[in-house]
Each structure stands twice: as C-alpha cells, then as structure tokens.
A and B are shown apart, each in its own frame.
Chain A
C-alpha cells in the first residue's frame, strides 16, 4: 500500500517554486517597492516659486505634533469653533494662505480638523475657510454630501436607506484620534501591496504546471502512483501557500514600516476619519484588518486561477501574458457608473477590487433578504470561484495526455 505523501510532495513543490531565480528576484523587487512607497511620503522637499520651503520629513513632524495634540478631542462645537477662529485669522485676500504666518501659527495646528470637515462635507478650500462652525450643520452637510454621492453611485432607495441606517449608527460627535500610520495603511498600503501581490503571484505561479510540460517531467509525474491525484493537491497547496505567505510578508513589511514611520495607534478611531465616503460603523483598525483579510483571500484565489490557467494553456509565458493583460485592463479600463451592474462586476474583479474605494464601496447586493456590502460578498464569491476553478483544474489535469513530441 502506498503512502499518500501529501506533506512530502507539498514541501518539494514549495522547493520547486522557490528554487526559481525569477521568483526570488520578483519577491525582492516587491519588497523594495513596498519599502519605497512607505518611505516616499517622507522623502523630498517642498518648493514654492523655486525656493526651498521645507523638507517633507520636517513638515510631517510638525503636522504630527499638532495632530497628536488634538488626539482624543471630540469634534464638537467648541473644537469646530476653535478651528474656525484659527482659520479666520488668515488674511482673507491671501490666495496661497498656507504660506502666511497666520496659517502657520494659528490655523495649521487645526489642519486635521479642517481637512476632516472638508472631506465630510465636500466643501472646497474657500468654502471651508469661511464656514461658520456649527456642529449640527457639520452632520447635516455630511448627510447631504453622502446623499449626493449615493445618487451618483446609482444606489436604489433601499440601498440609500440601508446606508442612512448605518450612518446613524456612527457615534456622534466623533472623537478625533491621531491615526496617520493606520490611515496610510488603509488608504495607500493595501493598493500597493495588492498590485505587488498580483504581479508576484502571476510571475511565481505561472510555471507551476506549465513547466512540467515544457521540461517534460510531466511523464514522470503522471506515471507515479500519486501522479494523477495527490500531486495536483500538493501543487495547488504549495502555490496557494506561496501566494498567501508572500502577501503576508509584504503586508507585514508595509504595515510595520508605515506604523513605525508615521506613528502607531489610533486603531479605534472611526473609519470615517480616514475614509469619509463609507458610512459603515467600523474603526480604522477593523477596516484595515478587513482589507488585509480580503487581500489574503484574493492572493489565494488568484494563485488558484493562475495555476489552473497554466495547466490549461501549458505555457507559463502565455499564462503570464493573459494575467498581465488582465491586471493592465483593471488599471486602465473604467466602466461608467451608469452601467451599474457591469461597473460593479468589473470593480469586483481581483485585479481591480483591492482599493479602499472598492472594498468599502457603497453599492450593495441584496441576497435572501439580507443586504450585503462589497467586503462581505466579494470574498465569499472569490472563495466560491476559487473552488470551482480548483475543481475545473483537477479535471483538466487528469485529462491531460502526453502526445505529439
């Protein structure tokens, strides 16, 4: 009786993938890319009319100190009034008001609240500067802004009602917390890591099955007792592990570095401090965990798709070409919001989905009487799609015949 040997085969499949120089180099490039993006916000200098004003690093340090001073304060009438009073000191005729001493001395310490008011209400710079601070008005304007957004997103009335209910569940008045590090993770890092992940998965896994055919080792594998069953599972498990572990590695590097550079903490702040357009009552920490979880699920499912495609096409290069084309299409093609269904499906594709605006999209799906948001339904659909692809792959793999050489 033969032993199943799944564990041993799994380790050898991992070894086969990681022995490829291209895989190791790609992973290194992805890691460097993540580090570069994390650091990029602090690099460089700020010039006005060709004259050096400050370094980005120093500007960040100043802003961080002001924001930390505000951390823990409730965004209520007294704080809004302080902000309005500080911004009122800027001479009205100044166009480039951030260069004035009044801004630097009085207004800049409140810039975080000023930016929050703008993000929540959709006011432009001028409107926000001359806004007469009113806590009730802030929430009324936010509601009006959201209603307008929902209309542009072609939401149905039940969807809008769903979001009104969610918006009402957010604690008011909101408490401001310093959360620059985790905010950057939520807004920026997920996009960078997902792009790196998609490319790395395509490069590293496109050869898992295809190379057995080009190397002609397929004959040895398929004549082994476990060659038509266990090997498929071992290869799939190894590919999924590489996709998930490499994504986890990039997430850890990106998150730790971002939190170290921009400051950790603020995880319990309302998600709306980082991303105003979503009304779901979440903390920023929860939102980032959701993003990380979805990225890992996407990595696993993308890995399955790439490997099945590589078995179907029998060519690593063709698989890479198809997949890269899909990634590029995801970057350049945008379907108008008016084509609600197509636009929503396109935005749910693994190559487009991983961004804060798609993960926390306000377009929902009604299923068996429940209204599900993107971050709830899409991972479930991915897992289902991945399972179907996995099963289709078993069929393709077992039906393969060695001929015509």
Chain B
C-alpha cells in the first residue's frame, strides 16, 4: 500500500440558496483513521458526500494523490458507506456484493473471491444466500461495510457506520476499522464520541459547516467527550435540524 497517500481538501464549500452547509473547509488527510464529530446539521454528511463525488461543491477542490474527485480513477480507490444505506431487498447478500463489485470494475472471478472473503470478515458467510430483506439492521449494516471494502479502497469514508449496531457489534466493528486504518485513509463520522476515542488517531470537528478542530487526540489531552460538549455548549447542545 502507498505510504504517501494523501487526500487534499481545499476550501471546500457547499451553499444552498442562502444557507452555507460547508464553509471553506481545508484539510489534508494521510494514512490513518480520522473521526469526524459534529452535531446534527453541522455539515458532516454534506462534507462526506462531496468527498465521494456525489454532491458537487459550490467551491473548492478535492483530490486524492492528484486525482480529482470527479474522475473514475478517484472512485476506483474509494469505499463509501452512506448514512442511509440502501439495498435491493430481493437480492441475496452474495448477489448484492457481486453487483457492487461489477460497479467498481472488479473482474467477475476476482469479485466472487473477494465477496466470500468479506462476507466472512463481517460474519455473514452463513447468510450469504439469504435475501437481504430477511436481514436484521445489524446484518444490513455489516453488509454495507463489506460492500465498501470490495475494491480494497485507499480512501474509506464511513458515514455513521455504527448506527443500528448493538454494543457487541459496535466493539467488533471498531476492531475491524482499526485494522483497516493501518494501510488506508479512513474517515468516519459519528455522534458517539467513544467510538472515535477508541480508534481514531485524528479528530475532526465540524460546527455550522466549519471545521472547528482538527488534530491528534490522546488521553493526556483530557476527555474528548467533554471537549466536544464544550464546543457545542454555546448552542445548548445538538441542533435538531437535518443535515
């Protein structure tokens, strides 16, 4: 894996009429796990969608190792798990992964092998022939993670990946992310500060579309949750508006 991989976000902006959802965000991400924190409406999902090329920014650029976000080559190294993860209820888990592998340009034979590996990784190998509509919320979420890893992405973007998982699954998932962060850039957003405390080497914090904190966080710096709450204290906690 390339040790110099770099995602450069330069003055990224998204404006809807008179509301700025993301305001001139500039960050440089290198190999490792980045936790993105922010209240509802802070702009996390909008920011992540722009990083994935499915939402056109009003201004600014996103490049990965020189590739622009709009290029096919960029999408070839991207893995994405959206917050509102959609699926085909009549497809089996295996079909679903093979379809998405085809979408990612993976040859058929290689795709089958990779799908089997990933189903085992997320403990879904036994249910691989079952229709997705019969899956529990946690199983669907694990399938979502599996699809994001199909192309061995160098850049893995996970929007609220632990939503819908029970505590046991969350712990297992955190361990999995920890492994994945060893040879790629992983950016995950969450409301749950403890998820980030445990696995993220770097913390990004968004508020009102702006990146208000970015940097390393360790125990000596104090309690991350306390710091997080302090940042939003002025507004009396979380906003309820949707992103």
Contact = CB atoms under 8 A, between A and B. Distances in A.
A223 B86 contact: no
B103 A220 contact: yes
A224 B100 contact: yes
Given A223-B53, A225-B75, A402-B55, A216 B85 contact: yes
Report whether over half of chain A's contact residues are helix, strand or loop; otherwise say mixed.
loop
Interface residues of A, number: 32
Interface in B71-93: 72-73, 75-76, 78, 80, 82, 84-88, 90-91
A163 to B, nearest CB: 54
B54 interface: yes
Nearest to A216: B86
Contact of A8 (B72, B80, B85, B102): B102
B107 to A, nearest CB: 5
B82 A16 contact: no
Contact of A219 (B54, B56, B90, B102): B54
Contacts of B106: 2-3, 5
Given A223-B78, A225-B76, A402-B49, A218 B86 contact: yes
Interface string A204-227: 000000001001111111111111
A226 B104 contact: yes
A227 B75 contact: yes
B55 A401 contact: yes
Contacts of B99: 9, 12
B151 interface: yes
A225 B151 contact: yes
Contacts, number: 103
B82 A220 contact: yes
A229 B72 contact: yes
A256 B82 CA distance: 51
Categorize the interface residue count of chain B: 35 or more
Nearest to A403: B55
Contacts of A229: 72
B86 A226 contact: no
A215 B86 CA distance: 5
B234 to A, nearest CB: 27
Contacts of B95: 12, 15
B189 to A, nearest CB: 14
20 contacts: A2-B105, A5-B102, A5-B107, A8-B98, A9-B99, A12-B102, A15-B95, A19-B90, A215-B86, A215-B87, A215-B88, A219-B49, A225-B151, A226-B102, A227-B75, A231-B103, A402-B49, A402-B55, A403-B46, A403-B49
Given A218-B54, A224-B75, 8 more contacts: A19-B90, A215-B88, A218-B86, A219-B86, A223-B53, A223-B78, A224-B100, A224-B105
